[in-house]
Amino acid sequence: AQSVTQLGSHVSVSEGALVLLRCNYSSSVPPYLFWYVQYPNQGLQLLLKYTTGATLVKGINGFEAEFKKSETSFHLTKPSAHMSDAAEYFCAVSGRSDSSGSARQLTFGSGTQLTVLP
């Protein structure tokens, strides 16, 4: 079984402030972890991913995330928010599906809406 919990469905930050979006996961196998971003009226785009190796991963647009196994977390951060960062952010984990049981697949969290205030 696998699941993703994103704490805070809405996060607001001022332009130039630190962005921190929280993600905790549960997985019965070593996880692969991902962050996706969805801009209004668009599909999701991959921001960054962790599969193996270095636990601090860097993605596009200055975002990074750190895999912490002991905390089962994969929080997304950016040192300085920009207006263009306003979007919905989704954390995802890979693992075996509860129902299919035959293929690994991605399970998405419920998303966090990031608002950047001027």
Long-range CB contacts (< 8 A, 24+ apart) of 42-46?
Answer: 44/90
Per DSSP, 61 falls in state G
Burial (Cβ within 10 Å: 0-12, 13-18, ≥19) of residue 38: middle
Beta carbon of residue 38, minimum distance to other proteins (angstroms, whole number): 8
55 contributes a contact to other proteins by CB under 8 A: no
Q: Please say whether the beta carbons of 72 and 24 come within 8 A.
A: yes
Pick the piece of the chain touching other proteins (CB under 8 A) from 11-19, 66-74, 77-85, 92-100: 92-100
**Which residue shows structure tokens 């993703």?**
4
Nearer to other proteins, 86 or 106 (CB): 106
Burial (Cβ within 10 Å: 0-12, 13-18, ≥19) of residue 59: middle
43 contributes a contact to other proteins by CB under 8 A: yes
Residue of 28, 41, 70, 84 that binds other proteins (CB under 8 A) = 41
Nearer to other proteins, 103 or 118 (CB): 103
Residue of 26, 49, 64, 77 that binds other proteins (CB under 8 A) = 49
Interface residues with other proteins (CB under 8 A) are 32, 34, 36, 41-46, 49, 51, 88, 90, 92, 94-95, 97, 99-100, 102-108, 110-111, 113
